[in-house]
């Protein structure tokens, strides 16, 4: 048991933190129907790191972090600038374009960079099992700050995610609120992806949100249910991964997949029982 805690305590805490912030952000993302935004943001941050390599900055230097951050904020600007009133272009398509173009640009930039190509790819792979205590601390601080700002702005951002038309009618400056949301989202996701990888972060964002959309309707309850599911899946899959010795990140993602199937089955049964009961 001591061995279990020695290896798994830090990954479990990291996963619970991930479940916390992404459970909340996920509800917004699914409401806004911008599901793949985290992939686009992570990829743009990786492009920033790759460009920093091109200028011969060390991979773990502050300069590289700064490049990543600057690119992420630029991505946030693009995404809030392309949320048009008359949705001539679906925003999901813009997100897709941002993703593929920055992924391809990474390849081009690395072709010219002398070293470190593998390290940039590493940015997206994550290593939940190998997180250090300082990283956990950074994670905690960044998530808390983002969480506090989101909580302060919550009424506006909730309205914007749920009923964009009403928000515009009320005269809200949607571009600036969008920009705030996507900047915070970008910063959080960039850090998360570095620690946990794109697959894991995507699962933490989307799967708890989907399940809570199936079962509850109010914004608050959805967030609570998403936290519950994210935390439970994180805990179960980390324990499972330890005793089977399966790679941890992949185990968590597949467990999320299974939990969605299970939730779908329960939803179906509940609905069938409801319709049959009166007859």
Partner 1 sequence: MSFKKIFGILLAGVFVIGAEFSAVAGPKKLNVVASLPDLASLARAVGGDHINVSSVALGVQDPHYLEAKPSYEINLSKADLLIYNGLSLEIGWLPLLVQDSRNPRIISGAKGSLCASTALDRILEKPTGEVDRSMGDIHPEGNPHYLLDPRNGLKIAALIRDKLSELDPSNAGDYSKNYAQFETMMNEKIKQWESQAAALKGMKVITYHKEWEYFADWLGLNIAGNVEEKPGIPPGPQHKQWLIDKIKNDRIKIIIAANYDPSISTAERLASETGATLLILPAATGGEPGINDYPQLFDYIISKLLQAQGGGK
Three-class secondary structure of residue 113 per DSSP: coil
Does 130 contact partner 1 by CB under 8 A? yes
Does 1 contact partner 1 by CB under 8 A? no
Q: Single out the segment in contact with partner 1 by CB under 8 A; choices: 63-71, 171-179, 201-209, 241-249.
A: 241-249
Q: Single out the segment in contact with partner 1 by CB under 8 A; choices: 112-120, 216-224, 253-261, 266-274.
A: 112-120
H/E stretch holding 143: helix 133-152
Q: What is d(CA 115, CA 104) in angstroms, rounded to the nearest whole number?
A: 18
Neighbouring residues of 229: CB distance < 8 A, sequence distance ≥ 6: 23, 207, 208, 211, 212, 259, 263
Q: Single out the segment in contact with partner 1 by CB under 8 A; choices: 35-43, 65-73, 119-127, 148-156.
A: 119-127
Q: Which two tokens stand for residue 112?
A: 């010219």
- What is the full DSSP assignment across 180-244? HHHHHHHHHHHHHHHHH-HHHHHHHHHHHHHHHHHH--SHHHHHHHHHHHHHHHHHHHHHHHHHH
Residue from 129, 159, 214, 235 binding partner 1 (CB under 8 A): 129
Residue the block writes with tokens 């989101």: 150
Does 136 contact partner 1 by CB under 8 A? no
CB of 107 to partner 1, least distance (A): 6
Q: Which of 10, 9, 37, 7 is nearest to 22 (CA)?
A: 37
CB of 177 to partner 1, least distance (A): 36
Q: Single out the segment in contact with partner 1 by CB under 8 A; choices: 48-56, 65-73, 239-247, 263-271.
A: 239-247
Measured in whole angstroms, the distance separating CA 17 from the mean position of its chain's CA atoms is 12
Residue from 63, 89, 115, 154 binding partner 1 (CB under 8 A): 115
Does 92 contact partner 1 by CB under 8 A? no
Does 249 contact partner 1 by CB under 8 A? yes
Site residues (CB under 8 A) for partner 1?
Answer: 3, 6-8, 11, 107, 111, 114-115, 117-119, 121-122, 125, 127, 129-130, 132, 241-242, 244-250
């Amino acid at each position: 048991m001591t061995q279990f805690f020695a290896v798994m305590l830090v990954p479990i805490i990291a996963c619970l933190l991930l479940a916390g912030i992404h459970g909340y952000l996920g509800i917004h993302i699914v409401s806004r129907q911008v599901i793949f935004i985290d992939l686009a943001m992570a990829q743009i941050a990786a492009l920033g790191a790759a460009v920093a390599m091109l200028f011969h900055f060390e991979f773990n230097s502050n300069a590289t972090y700064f490049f990543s951050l600057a690119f992420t904020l630029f991505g946030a600007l693009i995404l809030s600038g392309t949320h048009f009133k008359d949705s001539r272009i679906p925003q999901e398509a813009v997100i897709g374009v941002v993703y593929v173009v920055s992924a391809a640009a990474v390849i081009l930039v690395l072709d010219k960079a002398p070293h470190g190509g593998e390290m940039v790819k590493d940015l997206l792979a994550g290593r939940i099992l190998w997180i250090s205590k300082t990283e956990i601390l950074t994670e905690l601080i960044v998530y808390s700050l983002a969480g506090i700002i989101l909580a302060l702005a919550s009424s506006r951002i909730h309205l914007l995610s749920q009923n964009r038309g009403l928000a515009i009618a009320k005269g809200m400056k949607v571009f600036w609120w969008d920009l705030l949301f996507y900047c915070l989202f970008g910063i959080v996701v960039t850090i998360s992806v570095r620690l946990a990888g794109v697959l894991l972060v995507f699962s933490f964002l989307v799967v708890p949100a989907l399940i809570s959309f199936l079962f509850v309707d109010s914004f608050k309850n959805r967030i609570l249910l998403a936290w519950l599911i994210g935390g439970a899946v994180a805990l179960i899959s980390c324990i499972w991964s330890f005793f089977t010795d399966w790679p941890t990140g992949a185990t968590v993602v597949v467990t999320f997949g299974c939990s969605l199937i299970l939730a779908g089955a329960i939803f179906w049964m509940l609905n069938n029982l409801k319709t049959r009961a009166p007859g």
